[in-house]
Amino acid sequence: ASFTIGFIGLGNMGAPMAHNLAQAGHKVQGYDTAGTTAEGVSVAQSADSACAEADFVITMLPNGAILRSVAAQVLPAMKQGATLIDCSTVDVDSARDVGAQAAEMGLGFVDAPVSGGIGGAAAGTLTFMTGGTDAAFAAAQPLFDIMGQKAVHCGAAGSGQAAKICNNMILGATMIATCEAFALADKLGLDRQKMFDVVSTSSGYSWSMNAYCPAPGVGPQSPADNDYKPGFAAELMLKDLGLSQQAAQAVDADTPMGALAHALYAEFVEVEDGKGRDFSAMLPRLAARSRS
């Protein structure tokens, strides 16, 4: 089937995702306040005009407040039975609230944050972690298949965001733990390659060590080998750790490692030189500090 799709937010992630949908034969109308566009996507004059005829509306926006304001504009303009798919990373409460508003208006909703970054968006190999009704998920599945390689249905609306921030809280904490272990190993005179050889095949292994090693010249190619150009920028990790702390406070979950990871990335991004660097640049930061 060929669908009409409204795509709101044609930034670093949204533009290649919209392009892939157009490439697959769907009619994609896009809108972005910055005036950006994407190949094969026709530009609408407003968010609601991009969505009026749409079978699906996809949003790829910076945060929950912007999602709420775009939803307030777009949901009333959508036709009955259409589905809103929010692929942004936002707070769980915003996802749940927008999902409830959509349901009240007879519209489908799926929260579907992604992992895979800009490379995955361009290649159509994103992973979607999703929340919503079975019917809304089933309806959206053909679009996930175009934009990504895997979509996991995690539960009701908001569950996709919950899965995303739990995953990234683990990622932030394991990256810092891996980096501080390298900084300690340096001081103990342990060769970084030997450290990798041992840990990557021992119980300290993780994605941060094995797939995205923060030490240059060690392990598979990673941003460390490219002067810590992102990759996954430290400020995006900070955003996700902020969302996991916000959620933890809201439900009174005890997340001390997540809280510390959040504080360390906040200092790195806001006080030090971390902004615009890959999140694995925590290694040179910790190594430099422990020298003084």
Return residues touching ligand NAD (CB under 6 A).
8-14, 31-34, 36, 47, 60-62, 66, 70, 88-89, 114, 117-118, 232, 236, 239
Taking the least distance from each CB to ligand NAD, the nearer of 181 and 245 is: 245
Which two structure tokens, joined as six digits, stand for 76? 């009333």
Q: Which residue is nearest to ligand NAD (CB)?
A: 11
- Annotate 140-168 with b (16+ C-beta within 10 A) or e (fewer): beebbeebbeebebbeebbbbbbbbbbbb
Q: Which residues are the active-site residues?
A: 164
Taking the least distance from each CB to ligand NAD, the nearer of 159 and 192 is: 159
In whole angstroms, give the CA distance from residue 102 to residue 188.
57
Taking the least distance from each CB to ligand NAD, the nearer of 98 and 287 is: 98
Taking the least distance from each CB to ligand NAD, the nearer of 90 and 181 is: 90
Neighbours of 292 (CB within 10 A): 4
Which two structure tokens, joined as six digits, stand for 101? 């508003």
Taking the least distance from each CB to ligand NAD, the nearer of 11 and 216 is: 11
127 closest CA partner among 97, 89, 99, 173: 89
Dihedral class, residue 106 (left if φ above 0, else alpha if ψ from -120 to 50, else beta): left
Q: Output the smallest distance, CB 116 to ligand NAD, in A.
A: 7
Look up tokens 């999902």; give the residue: 99
Q: Output the smallest distance, CB 88 to ligand NAD, in A.
A: 4
Q: Is residue 62 classed as helix, strand or coil in its secondary structure?
A: coil
Q: Output the smallest distance, CB 114 to ligand NAD, in A.
A: 5
The answer to whether 270 and 235 are in contact (CB under 8 A) is no
Q: Which residues pair with 56 in a beta bridge?
A: 5, 83
